[in-house]
Amino acid sequence: MGCNLDVNTPRGQQTLADELDAIKIFESHYPQYRYIHTPKKEPGDIDGLVVSATRDLVAVVETKCRYDMTLEKFTETYGEEWLLTFDKIIKGMKVAEACRVPFYGFLYIVPSGALLIRRLWSPQAGLEFASLVIRKTKTQATINGGEAVRDNAFIDMTGVAPLYLKR
């Protein structure tokens, strides 16, 4: 089981390494929290969990690494809109709702070494968007390429301050 997962390819392994860099950035800014990975040998609905120093679950997380842009290109070309598969949002919301904790998106812009964190859903407020734009678009199917036409959410990241690794 799990041998055909994209994570087992060289590109998938690079993404895992970059995800670890994103987590280092997060933990350097929030040392009172720890990011716990979900198992990578099987497909999962979320990428990780955030727990407090007292071992309380505080968040569910979806982490995405982007390689085709800098922070400047993200702002200038994409208008600070993050494309995320809508299915990922639904799955993350369901897990977060079951646990009664917020669901966050971690967008790591690898060439800039910048981590953007946005709360996507919370038990108190529901979806955290002023307006959620969902469009059926053609995107890369997986980290290893290909094309897929699917419902994608366009998440406004305006005003989200980038985090960089604290030394």
Question: Which of these ranges, 40-54, 63-77, 125-139, has the smallest mean pLDDT?
Answer: 125-139
Neighbours of 166 (CB within 10 A): 10
| Mean pLDDT of the 15-37 span | 96
Closest C-alpha among 93, 77, 76, 69 to residue 153: 93
Phi then psi for residue 90, to 5 deg, are -60, -45
| Mean pLDDT of the 55-64 span | 97
Q: Report the predicted TM-score, pTM, of the whole model to 2 decimal places.
A: 0.89
The model's confidence at residue 1, banded by pLDDT at 50, 70 and 90, is very low
CATH of domain 6-156: 3.40.1350.10
Radius of gyration over every alpha carbon of the chain, rounded to an integer in angstroms: 15
Joined together, the tokens standing for residue 136 give: 């059926």
The model's confidence at residue 120, banded by pLDDT at 50, 70 and 90, is very high
| Mean pLDDT of the 64-86 span | 94
- So where are the chain's domains? 6-156
More confident residue, 41 or 56: 56
| Mean pLDDT of the 107-125 span | 96
Q: Is 29 helix (H, G, I), strand (E, B) or coil?
A: helix
Q: pLDDT, tens digit, for every residue of 78-93? A: 999 999 999 999 999 9
Q: What is the pLDDT of residue 85?
A: 92
